[in-house]
Amino acid sequence: MRSRLAAVVYVPLALVILLLGMLYASSVTRAHQQEVFLDRLRDTSYLVLPARQAILADDPSLVAGDLERYRQVYGIGAAVVDQAGATVAAEGIEVQDYAERHAALAGRRAEMRETFWPWDAQRTVVAEPIFDGGDLVGALVTSSDGGKVQRAIWNSWALLAAAGAVIALLALVLADRTAGWLLRPVRAVDQAMEKMGDGRLDERIPPSTGPPELRQVVSRFNEMAERVEHLMRRQQEFVANASHELRNPLSALMLRVESLALSVPPEGADDVAHVRAEAERMAQILDALLLLADGSSMSAAQPVDVADLVARRVEGRRILDPDRELRLTTPGGEVLGTVDPTALESAFDTVVENAIKFAPESEPIDVSVVRAAGSIEVVVRDHGPGVPADQLERLTERFWRSPGHSSVRGSGLGLAIASELLAELGGGLRLELPDDGGLRVCLQVPAWEEGT
């Protein structure tokens, strides 16, 4: 973005520099030509006097010596013609080759020709009429090579180009610095948002950053950050209070279960063990959900046999709902994944609960554990009504429920919670619509590798 903004600033500056350079180059070219032309006019003014005397006395020798010395010293040819156009004296030029003599013989003084460019170099010709008491008696013509003025123009242009390059470079640096200054608040906001996304809610931006017009953005961002930090603190306080209030009755329940285990006959020991296990899992689920709501990370990932974990959760679900058929398919041996077992259990139970809720009781729920490239997938497939394809991506949004299933009890949080739990683990949740109906949910967790 900085380069694009610098280009927006630099291109107009470059165009202005180029336009000014072209105008100045034209002015320099004309100045050199004018200097040479005026110099030739001064020379002709000096030579007019002996030329007039030579014409009036009909003696070419009166001017021939001056013309020869002039050519030897300056390398400029010159010629004198009388009123009829006949050559009186000439040195280094054929006066008949120059049409400028006609204007001089008509009484008009020489005028500087239109500006020419250095690659269009021509000879500089000056024709001056010669008067005697107001009567035209002849003309003086001088012709000099344009190479000298051409070289002078090229040298001036070279200096101008070098100065233009330096100015263009300085303009580029100025445009880059200006773009950086203008974008400084944008970069500061971006960096601050990245740090806030990493959990540093106390990140703020100095209010004096950037131009005055963008400081308002910085001020609004700091105000927003203050409100976000305040709301997050209130949420964390609520989580701490809720944790305390929920743990007390759960602890009391677990104590009553332990007391009940001492008085239950042996044939009821399995039921008590299941109740104890579910109470312990409830405590683990509470920890996972509180961590999720608090915005903290889950416990350290560890190698977990995903197939064994899923098998235990399927068995627990069968005990709770013996009339529901759950079909489990797992590969042989251990299927190790890098995962927090509590979080994976919570996500899996949520997905299975969702499948049971929407699938007909007569239809089975298919559960499978699959090894994939670099990951482990737990696939839960139901044979329910499914959802329209355009609603599939919205199933993981919090509190969103399909309009076609509004009569089914639920909060719209199940798949959203499962998706967030898996994202915390470095995995994900993928939803698919099978061709024969229903919904397929794939829970993905990273595969365990030695050294991870």
Q: Are 83 and 68 in contact (CB under 8 A)?
A: no
Q: Are 442 and 378 in contact (CB under 8 A)?
A: yes
Write the DSSP symbol of residue 210. Answer: S
Report the distance separating Cα 292 and Cα 288, nearest Å.
6
Cα 387–391–397 angle (5° rounding)?
A: 110
| pTM, to two decimals | 0.43
Residue 450 contacts by C-beta under 8 Å, 6 or more apart in sequence?
Answer: none
Residue 249 contacts by C-beta under 8 Å, 6 or more apart in sequence?
Answer: none
Residue 212 contacts by C-beta under 8 Å, 6 or more apart in sequence?
Answer: none
The CA distances from residue 175 to 12, 158, 199, 306, in Å, are: 10, 25, 36, 58
* Predicted pLDDT of residue 297: 45
Label residue 419 exposed, middle or buried (CB < 10 Å: 0-12, 13-18, 19+).
buried
Q: Name the residue ranges covered by the structural domains of the chain.
A: 2-154, 201-294, 297-446
Q: Which of 232, 229, 448, 192 is nearest to 344 (CA)?
A: 448
Report the distance separating Cα 277 and Cα 254, nearest Å.
10
Strand, helix or coil for residue 446: strand
Exposure class string for 386-415: b at 16+ Cβ within 10 A, else e: bbeeeeeeebbeeeebbeeeeeeeeeeebb
Q: Which amino acid is at 345?
A: E
Q: Which of 209, 449, 452, 252 is nearest to 336 (CA)?
A: 449
* Predicted pLDDT of residue 411: 47
Strands (E), 224-350: 302-305, 326-329, 336-339
* Predicted pLDDT of residue 50: 92
Q: Which residues of the chain have pLDDT under 50?
A: 296-298, 406-408, 410-411
DSSP assignments along 143-191, one per residue:
EE-SHHHHHHHHHHHHHHHHHHHHHHHHHHHHHHHHHHHHHHHHHHHHH
* Predicted pLDDT of residue 328: 92
Cβ count near 42 (within 10 Å)? 10
* CA count, 13 A, side-chain hemisphere, 414: 19
* Predicted pLDDT of residue 309: 92
The top-level CATH class assigned to 201-294 is mainly alpha
CATH domain 297-446 topology: Heat Shock Protein 90 (3.30.565)
CATH number of 2-154: 3.30.450.20
* Predicted pLDDT of residue 288: 56
* Predicted pLDDT of residue 416: 76
The CA distances from residue 79 to 63, 71, 402, in Å, are: 9, 11, 106
Q: Which of 412, 414, 415 is nearest to 428 (CA)?
A: 415
* Predicted pLDDT of residue 311: 92
* Predicted pLDDT of residue 121: 60
